[in-house]
């Protein structure tokens, strides 16, 4: 088996995204809970590149920060003046100094590209074909650069649409912009590219013609059109979101989850879902969520940054915020909010409850309207609830406070001190009953009303 040639990745991410009408760099807009740039870098990472260079624009430090959050050793190169794709790739040369292998050029605003496609493009490069281009068959090729082949089917040029002839515009084999090229050839040919074209820019696509002119072949890899959709507008971002959601829903169902109404369920790129999970309609799952096996997530629940163990039941109308850890067979019911709290095995909070900065032990029951008062206006404090505890309805647990195992909290209590194990805590005003008071009150009010009517 031939030795795998080293791979380097160059990601073009300098675009401002003017048509997005945004103060944020285009590649930092999100789809399925992940930035466009992060989608591309995650896919590229599976090719195990030895080096990663991200081309950013001036005044975009957030792009570099995001790139390094995904690929910690990424080199960030700044394209001060946007003069085309070839110019952008040339800026990566310092970051690739000494690299001798295959360079993959990817785009930071094309988030649907799959790892398998990236690997296939890299593998298309050989001694006979030191350059490979990724193409696709377009349903409507208008606006795309065309891949020009000779009579024997060999790729000989890429023509931007503004520079095509009438006949060339009928071609449906289009350029994705992604290429793979041997590093030595890249640095030999890049200085030869000119800006003699309609836009007066330096096009990376000219590498094809230059390679062919040297008597070398250019390989062609193909992928579905949907995989190379880019983002330039908010409408296109919405389309990308839709395509990603369809992909992730299908993967979840293929892996053993039941989605009652798939189009109404929204997942994130990093959502982990076990088998025999049932997700009802209108559930939103944000980033960093792990769901175990045999979990039920009922309608209209919102979950982010949470871990849900096997057999748990969530919702309907539940909200799990970052740091929520739901134990095995636990129940989190309607209008319950959990934040930075651990809910033990078999514990229940079935309705109208807030649990934040807390720990709830196994089999404990949290009554309706109970809350942990975790914030004093300046700092957050922790509430510790032991195992087998019964917390009555409308209880306020004022943190920091500890509630011992197997204790009971009477309904309507405001607990400000620790409760020992096996104790009953009651913290509310003493009830006073005045017999006959309501009848006398009604008669007094009726008499006054009657008197006003006679005036």
pTM of the model as a whole: 0.90
Active-site residue, 288 included = no
Over residues 169-177, mean pLDDT:
93
What integer pLDDT is reported at residue 27 of this predicted model? 96
Contact by Cβ (8 Å): 100, 176? no
Contact by Cβ (8 Å): 317, 334? yes
Q: What is the largest CA-CA distance in the chain?
A: 113
Catalytic, out of 29, 351, 381, 382: 351
**125-135 per-position pLDDT tens digit:** 999 999 999 99
Owner of token pair 């590649």: 27
Q: Report the percentage of the chain scoring pLDDT > 90.
A: 85
The whole-angstrom separation of Cα 106 and Cα 93 is 15
- Listed range (164-178, 287-301, 303-317) with the worst mean pLDDT: 164-178
**1-36 per-position pLDDT tens digit:** 456 789 999 999 998 888 889 988 999 999 999 999
pLDDT at 196 over 90: no
pLDDT at 368 over 90: yes
> CA 399: distance to chain centroid?
33
**262-281 per-position pLDDT tens digit:** 999 999 999 999 999 999 99
Q: Provide the total of helices (H) and of strands (E) in the chain, helices listed first.
A: 8, 33
Which one, of 205, 204, 49, 190, lies nearest residue 118 by Cα? 49
What integer pLDDT is reported at residue 174 of this predicted model? 95
pLDDT at 345 over 90: yes
**218-249 per-position pLDDT tens digit:** 999 999 999 999 999 999 999 999 999 999 99
In the chain, residues under CATH classification 2.160.10.10 are: 234-425
CATH class of 7-228: alpha beta
Q: Report the percentage of the chain scoring pLDDT > 70.
A: 99
Q: At what angle do helices 36-45 and 115-123 cross, to 10 degrees?
A: 50
The whole-angstrom separation of Cα 208 and Cα 85 is 14
Which one, of 391, 382, 280, 299, lies nearest residue 339 by Cα? 382
In the chain, residues under CATH classification 3.90.550.10 are: 7-228
CATH fold of 234-425: UDP N-Acetylglucosamine Acyltransferase; domain 1 (2.160.10)
Give 300-333 as a DSSP string.
T-EE-S-EE-TT-EE-SS-EE-TT-EEPTT-EEE
What integer pLDDT is reported at residue 224 of this predicted model? 95
**84-120 per-position pLDDT tens digit:** 999 999 999 999 999 999 999 999 999 999 999 999 9
């Amino acid at each position: 088996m031939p030795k795998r040639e080293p791979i380097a990745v160059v990601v073009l991410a300098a675009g401002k995204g003017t048509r997005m009408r945004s103060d944020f760099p285009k590649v930092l807009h999100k789809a399925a809970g992940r930035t466009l740039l992060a989608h591309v870098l995650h896919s590229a990472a599976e090719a195990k590149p030895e080096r990663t260079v991200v081309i950013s624009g001036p005044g975009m430090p957030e792009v570099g920060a995001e790139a390094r959050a995904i690929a910690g050793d990424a080199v960030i190169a700044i394209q001060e003046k946007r003069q085309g794709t070839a110019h952008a790739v040339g800026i990566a040369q310092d970051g690739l100094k000494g690299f001798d292998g295959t360079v993959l050029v990817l785009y930071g605003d094309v988030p649907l590209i799959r790892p398998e496609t990236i690997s296939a493009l890299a593998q298309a490069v050989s001694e006979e074909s030191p350059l490979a281009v990724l193409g696709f068959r377009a349903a409507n090729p208008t606006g795309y650069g065309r891949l020009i082949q000779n009579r024997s089917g060999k790729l000989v040029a890429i023509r931007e649409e503004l520079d095509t002839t009438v006949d060339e515009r009928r071609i449906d084999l289009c350029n994705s912009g992604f290429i793979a090229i041997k590093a030595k050839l890249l640095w030999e040919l890049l200085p030869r590219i000119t800006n003699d074209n309609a836009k007066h820019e330096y096009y990376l696509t000219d590498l094809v013609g230059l390679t062919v002119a040297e008597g070398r072949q250019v390989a062609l890899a193909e992928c579905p059109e949907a995989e190379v959709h880019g983002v330039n507008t908010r409408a296109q971002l919405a389309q990308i979101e839709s395509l990603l959601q369809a992909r992730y829903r299908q993967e979840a169902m293929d892996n053993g989850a039941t989605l009652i109404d798939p189009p109404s369920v929204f997942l994130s790129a990093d959502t982990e879902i076990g088998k025999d999970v049932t997700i009802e309609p209108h559930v939103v799952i944000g980033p960093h969520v792990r769901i175990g096996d045999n979990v039920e997530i009922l309608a209209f629940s919102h979950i982010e940054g949470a871990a849900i163990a096997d057999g748990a039941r969530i919702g309907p109308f539940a909200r799990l915020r970052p740091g929520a850890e739901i134990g095995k067979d636990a129940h989190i019911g309607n209008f319950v909010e959990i934040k930075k709290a651990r809910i033990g095995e078999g514990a229940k909070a079935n309705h109208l409850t807030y649990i934040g900065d807390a720990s709830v032990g196994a089999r404990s029951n949290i009554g309706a309207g109970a809350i942990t008062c975790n914030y004093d206006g300046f700092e957050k404090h922790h509430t510790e609830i032991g195992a087998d505890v019964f917390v009555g309805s409308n209880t306020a647990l004022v943190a920091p406070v500890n509630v011992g195992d197997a204790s009971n909290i009477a309904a309507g209590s405001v607990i400000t001190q620790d409760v020992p194990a096996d104790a009953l805590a009651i913290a509310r005003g003493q009830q006073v009953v005045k017999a006959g008071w309501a009848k006398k009150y009604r008669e007094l009010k009726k008499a006054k009303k009657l008197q006003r009517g006679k005036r």
